[in-house]
Amino acid sequence: MTSPGRLGDFEVLRRIGTGGMAEIFLATKRGAKGTEKRLVVKRLLPQHARSERLRTMFIHEAQLAIRLAHPNLVHVYELADDPEGGLLLAMEFVDGADLGRILTEMKRRGERLPVPVALRIVEQAARGLHYAHEYSDEGAEPLAIVHRDISPQNILVSRGGAVKVADLGVASARFVRDETGVQPGKLRYMSPEQARGEKVDRRCDVYALGVVLYELLRLTSPYGERRGAALARAVTHGKLEPPLAKAPDIPPDVLPVLAAALAPDAARRIGTMSSGRSSSCGSAGRMRPSRTARASVLPRSSPYGDTRRSSSYRTTPSA
């Protein structure tokens, strides 16, 4: 599939990804006097935009996402119509790599992320999520925003080391997609209550971020090699393999916070991202990563550039 040259007001430079219900493009938007802004355009595919329910949900969630502004959230600029019938969401371009890609690279190398780097990434993502969880309009009741789809692919790390959570606000639309069976959700990161199809609150994001931290520390899933029905059973019961206390390579001072984030019963789980952060602060704060450690996991060049495409990561500090 080739990239469309233009999508509404956006000039497409290249496609950078395809998700379950959307395509992602690197694009520019021209302003007055020759100014231009580089951004990412997420295009809800026309076949999904034709579903009235999905379309309404996507628009509603986009309205929400546009209001959020936090350094650890990918900033959403505007919603626009796609001349071909889809919907276009313009957002901040994070020049770097998603955590899924970083994890793949670390697994390929057989190397773990330095613990302080893993903690720092998760702590930054937690800051962005906490802001969204607490968000309310001008003193009104909090809107009870829940991401629902925290996974390594939705946590972006820029080449400068910034950590930004993507797709906040459009996650419910994705949830409908799961309900309608267009694409299965990322079961491996779901909290037990979400996997059981129960009503969820912010604690499902706490659980999902716990799964991400576990993977960053151990380079394996907390559900081991399970797939299909066995995985679904393990996730719905929150049954980790091996049990957390027996899992090697988890630093002892991280273990309590990870156990509290991965409690199968939401009532026993860390209640807010901020309490999770403060209880892990001992570890994250004391072990603040050095510039060298940060540089060791960040992409050397943008993985999105055609000519600069590179799957390698720095092994030496940046200049």
Q: Tell me the DSSP string of 143-160.
A: ---------GGGEEEETT
Question: Catalytic site residue 98?
Answer: no
Name which of 93 and 207 has its Cβ closer to ligand ATP: 93
180 contact partners, CB below 8 Å, separation of at least 6: 51, 54
Name which of 169 and 238 has its Cβ closer to Mg ion: 169
Binding mask 59-98 for ligand ATP (x = CB under 6 A): ---------------x----------------xxxx---x
Binding mask 140-179 for ligand ATP (x = CB under 6 A): ---------x---xx-x---------xx------x-----
Q: Which does 20 bind (CB under 5 to 8 A by kind): ligand ATP, Mg ion, none?
A: ligand ATP
Among 4, 8, 17, 264, binds ligand ATP (CB under 6 A): 17
Report the DSSP beta bridge partners of residue 87. Answer: 44, 81
Name which of 88 and 91 has its Cβ closer to ligand ATP: 91
Structure tokens at 319: 């200049």
How does 183-212 read in b/e, with b if 16+ C-beta sit within 10 Å?
Answer: eebbbbbbbbbbbeeeebebbbbbbbbbbb
Main-chain phi, psi angles of 179, to 5 degrees: -60, -40
* Residues 19-38 contacting ligand ATP, CB under 6 A: 19-20, 22, 24
Q: Which does 94 bind (CB under 5 to 8 A by kind): ligand ATP, Mg ion, none?
A: ligand ATP
Contact positions toward Mg ion, by CB under 5 A? 154, 166-167
Among 13, 16, 27, 176, binds ligand ATP (CB under 6 A): 16
- Collapsing DSSP to helix, strand or coil, 80 comes out as strand
Check if the beta carbon of residue 85 is closer than 8 Å to that of residue 46. Answer: yes
- State the CB neighbour count (10 A cutoff) for residue 224: 14
Name which of 190 and 259 has its Cβ closer to ligand ATP: 190
Q: Tell me the DSSP string of 291-314.
A: HHHHHTTSBSS-TT-TTT----B-
* Residues 189-228 contacting ligand ATP, CB under 6 A: none
Among 13, 27, 40, 132, binds ligand ATP (CB under 6 A): 40
- Give me the catalytic one of 95, 149, 167, 178: 149
Q: Which stretch binds ligand ATP (CB under 6 A): 15-23, 106-114, 119-127, 284-292?
A: 15-23
- Collapsing DSSP to helix, strand or coil, 73 comes out as strand
Rounded distance between C-alpha atoms, residue 135 and residue 88, angstroms: 24
Rounded distance between C-alpha atoms, residue 236 and residue 203, angstroms: 15
Q: Which residue is nearest to ligand ATP (CB)?
A: 19
| Amino acid in the structure at residue 262 | L
Active-site positions? Answer: 149
Residue numbers at the binding site for ligand ATP (CB under 6 A): 16-17, 19-20, 22, 24, 40, 74, 91-94, 98, 149, 153-154, 156, 166-167, 174
